[in-house]
Amino acid sequence: MSVSSTIFLGTPTEKSSDGFEDTYLFDVSRVYKGDVASVTSVGTLANGNGCGTSYVLGTERLMFLSAPYDVDAEYEGYSCAPYTGTDFDVQATVESVYGAGYVPEAGGTPSIGVYIDKTAVVGGVAAVALLAALGWFGWKRRRTT
């Protein structure tokens, strides 16, 4: 608990993936540690790489999160975080340390968009510019002969 920058109870409602990173939108119902809006995004590395994990849409869970490092989201989730799928009452332990928590303020509307590979966009623009330049030089050459 102490190494997590944020702890909240929330339900994942949407998921997007670029094959390397999964991003989930969470409806947050209670915040125990940190400052979280009622809707927030959590990124994780896909396919279990580097402690990446997955969340079941519509299933409320207690989240132990950190500031994003490898993901493009407000928070980063790990499978290496405390395991909450046990008979041990993790939420009661969190509440004994941080209190009952609070209901977050309405707001925070991050969206899950389609992933755009910036390298591919730059390469595509460069290719179009090169083709346009070659076409212009070819047209100019034909015109002078």
- The DSSP bridge partners found for residue 41 are 25
Q: Indicate the Cα dihedral angle 78, 82, 83, 87, nearest 10°.
A: -160
pLDDT tens digit string along 91-109? 888 999 999 999 998 866 5
pLDDT tens digit string along 44-83? 888 766 677 889 999 999 999 888 877 888 888 877 765 6
Q: Could you tell me the pTM of the whole model?
A: 0.68
Would you tell me how many other CB atoms lie within 10 Å of the CB of residue 63?
Answer: 25
